[in-house]
Amino acid sequence: MAGPKGEKAPLPMRDGVTPSYLWLPEGDWPDLITFMVANYPAVTEAQWRDRMARGDVVDAKGTPLRPESPYKRNLRIFYYRELDHETPIPFEEEVLYQDEHIVVADKPHFLPTIPTGRFVKETLLVRLRRRLGIEDLVPIHRLDRETAGVVVFSCNAASRGAYQSLFQKRLVQKEYEALAGPLPGREFPFSYSSRMVEGDKFFTMKEEPGEPNSETMIDVIERRGEHVLYRLWPHTGRQHQLRVHLSALGIPIVNDAFYPVALPCKQDDVSQPLKLLARAIGFPDPLTGEWRYFESRRQL
């Protein structure tokens, strides 16, 4: 990734991975390696020393940093995130559209949008950077790892703000599909609203009494055996909104491991994908005014 305010990073993109950076905070440390080991316990001292020996830890000018380098407050350090082992995701993304401003991709289930936790190279962002050779590629919005479908990226820093503002101003229309149980006694389509807040468990959300801050329009596409295929239009963009709303209605999405009850982590099991698909996205192009519409080619 680039440095602050779009500055070019002193380390190049490598196999789709751009360098991360950090600012050294206020503190009194005898040398750089002591600080790194104490503050980044997921990386061993031997690993930091190996990275520094390879020249993969540098300052903003690209000068290699050594274990014995003095600790300097406000020094900016660049380095690559590395994982000893990363489980391959056996599903491929597809590029639906590309021009000088945006890239639109069709993400498979189980592939994270951006590097996080135990995934770096096996993420949509890094795969696309490696495939397209575009270092300055940034997602304008994100999908959960469990959700498949359309994701829009910016590939031009000059126009990035204009596209990002579409989401901030809620000018983007998102359409999802979900497979869940039947919901008798309802007339479709209907709108469901609730107040969503952070849940009691990590990475979950929950509803609570109070003024609604989330809204979803729900319609039926077709009956599929004991399940129903629903069309969903989120009018707001809360984390896990569609999953929480359908669960609250008593029809949790098929294979949802978080709602209504968070199940033990399935780790690398990819046999039961969440039946949720970001089917389409549409918006007025901020540069031309033309209506843009992109649709996933995947099926639930």
Cis status, amide bond into 264, omega within 30 of 0? no
- Measured distance CA(20)–CA(134) in Å, rounded: 16
Question: Which residues 6+ apart lie within 8 Å of 87 measured at CB?
Answer: 118, 122, 268
Beta-carbon contacts of 281 under 8 Å, excluding residues fewer than 6 positions away, are: 104, 150, 152, 172, 173, 174, 175, 293, 294
φ and ψ at residue 158, rounded to 5 degrees: -65, -35
How far apart CA 252 and CA 242 sit, in angstroms, is 9
Q: What is the rounded distance in angstroms from the CA atom of residue 237 to the CA atom of residue 123?
A: 22
Strand (E) or helix (H) holding 53 = helix 45-53
Whether residue 188 contacts residue 219, with contact meaning beta carbons closer than 8 Å, is answered with yes
Nearest partner of 269 among 109, 95, 81, 92, judged by Cα: 109
CA-to-CA distance for 292 and 2, rounded, in angstroms? 28
Q: How far apart are CA 281 and CA 175, in angstroms?
A: 6
Run of H or E including 125: helix 124-132
Looking at this protein, which amino acid is placed at residue 151?
A: V
Residue of 106, 144, 200, 269 marked active site: 144
Single out the residue of 136, 139, 171, 153 nearest to residue 99, CA to CA.
153
144 is catalytic: yes
Alpha helices in 133-261 (DSSP H): 157-168, 241-248
- Provide the annotated active-site residues: 144
